[in-house]
């Protein structure tokens, strides 16, 4: 049973918020020439908040094309407990106690948790102290909440995981029948051109490679928004100044987080901070922001130097080798079915403008 949120006026607020979303959608789609869809896309946002997770969440909450049905928390950038606290404080800041926020896994499937306060600040939110949350945690276990919601709205739910894929893998393991019922999975993770943790692996995949392999092989439509495109979406001082020209609780919070990240990026010689998680939400809002050819992706779970690497077959085949005496002879190729759309190009400025204007509430 969900814990009572304590908000007695919720139905009214929710209805009002949906009407405002619908009105905003009409004017925004006209202004930005975005594809008009009949109804907002229902998403479950799975997150390890996290600075760029915070930016992604606020983008999702401020985008009328999306209807955030639930937030599930996974350990990654910070511990599960800190991530839950951060998620609750953020939904409270955004006045969205109507959205269930649930705890999930407490650690990766088979390895020890690696947290990233080094990159995200001691509390995971750039050291910004948000006010205590007015919202209460939902008592359901994150993977079970995902399962429940998918069954309640078959073929309608898009999963948007932007942390390690532990919760999503657990949901599939507990109830594989959700796979054909999920509309699509748009995940931030992986890379086909080298990692950020080490030479090969991207952090979300490295932090739970077995979970990632389950998610990639599940058989549902996956879009991989990896480092390859995230690194092309640098939020620089120019966009930060734009964001600083307007004010409001969410606007100011995201400005502080972005300032922390831009300063951090500068220390590493970069002119801006990569918008990894926000871009996954951007792709959920508008898939035309990216080019994403079909590929077959596997996750390396063993290699000494490559554990956590996403290995993508770009050609759609592998050689067929047949043993003849003491050697193999290539005798043709076997087709490999694609299991993911892998983002390789992005209209970075269009995305960054979208991000800034949505955070500004425009």
Among 184, 228, 277, 300, binds ligand BDR (CB under 6 A): 277
Judged by DSSP in three states, 331 sits in strand
75 binds, among ligand BDR, Ca ion, none (CB under 5 to 8 A by kind): none
Measured from the CB atom, the residue of 64 and 161 that comes closer to ligand BDR is 161
203 binds, among Ca ion, ligand BDR, none (CB under 5 to 8 A by kind): ligand BDR
Binding to ligand BDR (CB under 6 A) within 32-51 occurs at 50
Question: For residue 37, what is the enclosing H or E element?
Answer: none
Minimum distance, C-beta of residue 163 to Ca ion, in the bound complex (Å):
4
Among 46, 52, 138, 231, binds ligand BDR (CB under 6 A): 52
Rg from Cα positions in the chain? 20
Number of Cβ within a 10 Å radius of residue 322: 10
Residue 163 touching Ca ion (CB under 5 A): yes
Measured from the CB atom, the residue of 128 and 162 that comes closer to Ca ion is 162
Among 90, 125, 162, 211, binds Ca ion (CB under 5 A): 162
Q: Do the beta carbons of residue 59 and residue 355 sit within 8 Å?
A: yes
Q: Which of 20, 66, 35 is nearest to 281 (CA)?
A: 66
Q: How many angstroms separate the CA atoms of 128 and 113, rounded?
A: 23
Site string for ligand BDR, 81-120 (x = CB under 6 A): -----------------------------------x--x-
Residue 309 touching ligand BDR (CB under 6 A): no
Q: Any idea of the CA torsion for 62, 286, 14, 155, to the nearest 10 degrees?
A: -150
User: Judged by CB under 5 A, which stretch of 46-54, 168-176, 311-319, 351-359 contacts Ca ion?
Assistant: 46-54
Strand partners, 71: 45, 101
Residue 276 touching ligand BDR (CB under 6 A): yes
Tokens for 280, please give them.
């996954």
Residue 53 touching Ca ion (CB under 5 A): yes
Q: How many angstroms separate the CA atoms of 143 and 170, rounded?
A: 6
Minimum distance, C-beta of residue 246 to ligand BDR, in the bound complex (Å):
25
Tokens for 133, please give them.
């949350």
Among 88, 105, 203, 352, binds ligand BDR (CB under 6 A): 203
Among 53, 67, 138, 228, binds ligand BDR (CB under 6 A): 53
Q: Which of 109, 111, 57 is nearest to 83 (CA)?
A: 57
Minimum distance, C-beta of residue 46 to ligand BDR, in the bound complex (Å):
11
Residue 202 touching Ca ion (CB under 5 A): no
Question: What is the distance, to the nearest Å, from the Cα of residue 93 to the centroid of all Cα atoms in its chain?
Answer: 20
How are beta strands 234-236 and 272-274 bridged, if at all? Answer: antiparallel
116 binds, among ligand BDR, Ca ion, none (CB under 5 to 8 A by kind): ligand BDR
Q: How many angstroms separate the CA atoms of 162 and 53, rounded?
A: 7
Q: Which residues are at the interface with ligand BDR (CB under 6 A)?
A: 50, 52-53, 77, 116, 119, 162-163, 188, 196, 202-204, 276-277
């Amino acid at each position: 049973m969900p814990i009572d949120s304590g908000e007695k006026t919720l139905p009214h607020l929710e209805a009002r918020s949906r009407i405002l979303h619908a009105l905003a959608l009409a004017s925004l789609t006209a202004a930005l020439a975005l594809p008009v869809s009949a109804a907002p896309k229902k998403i479950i946002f799975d997150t390890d908040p996290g600075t760029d997770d915070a930016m992604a969440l606020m983008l999702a909450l401020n985008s009328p094309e999306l209807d955030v049905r639930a937030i599930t928390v996974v350990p990654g950038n910070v511990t599960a407990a800190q991530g839950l606290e951060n998620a609750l404080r953020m939904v409270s800041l955004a006045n969205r106690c109507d959205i269930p926020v649930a705890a999930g896994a407490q650690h990766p499937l088979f390895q020890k948790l690696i947290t990233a306060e080094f990159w995200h600040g001691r509390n995971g939110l750039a050291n910004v102290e948000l006010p205590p949350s007015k919202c209460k945690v939902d008592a359901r276990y994150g993977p079970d909440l995902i399962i429940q919601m998918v069954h309640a709205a078959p073929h309608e739910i898009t999963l948007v995981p932007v942390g390690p894929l532990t919760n999503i893998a657990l949901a599939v393991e507990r109830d594989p029948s959700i796979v054909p019922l999920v509309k699509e999975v748009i995940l931030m993770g992986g890379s086909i051109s080298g990692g950020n943790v080490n030479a090969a692996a991207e952090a979300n995949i490295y932090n739970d490679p077995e979970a990632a392999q389950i998610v990639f092989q599940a058989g549902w439509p996956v879009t991989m928004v990896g480092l390859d495109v995230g690194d092309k979406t640098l939020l620089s001082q120019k966009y930060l100044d734009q964001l600083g020209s307007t004010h409001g609780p969410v606007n100011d919070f995201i400005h502080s987080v972005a300032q922390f990240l831009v300063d951090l990026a500068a220390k590493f010689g970069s002119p801006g901070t990569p918008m990894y998680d926000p871009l996954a939400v951007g792709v959920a809002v508008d898939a035309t922001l990216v080019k994403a050819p079909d590929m077959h992706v596997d996750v390396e779970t063993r290699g000494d130097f490559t554990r956590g690497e996403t290995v993508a077959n770009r050609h759609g085949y592998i050689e067929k080798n047949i043993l003849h005496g003491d050697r193999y002879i290539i005798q043709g190729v076997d087709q490999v079915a694609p299991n993911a759309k892998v983002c390789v190009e992005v209209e970075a400025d269009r995305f960054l403008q979208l991000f800034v204007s949505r955070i500004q509430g425009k």
